[in-house]
Amino acid sequence: MAKWVIRDRCEHCHNFVDDDGYCTECEYGEDEEEEDALSKQVGGTHYKDMAIQPVEFIIANGLGFCEGNIIKYTCRYKQKNGVEDLRKVIHYAEMLIASLED
């Protein structure tokens, strides 16, 4: 008769962890302290590498959705999507202008 072993899953990537609670997929271990939200980033490091992350500036200044996206895309265009991100800046500025003119 086969012996069934219940294995724990990583809370970050949901792959199985080893007997010590260590995930070889995302290299997260149970003995590591949980990071604060600003020290994590999904999909690169283009925000974490900045002196002030856009989200910190946006929240601290109480900016709205369009204004926040203008800041975000302006800050990241060199590291991420280049001209595409600058077009997004223009698009959000146009939406903001339209909302002010209504």
pLDDT digits (tens, 9 = 90+) for 9-35: 777 676 776 766 777 777 655 444 556
Distance CA 92, CA 98 (A): 10
Report yes or no on whether pTM surpasses 0.85: no
CB-CB contact of 58 with 68 (8 Å): yes
pLDDT tens string 62-86: 999 999 999 999 999 999 999 999 9
Dist. CA 39–CA 78, nearest whole Å: 21
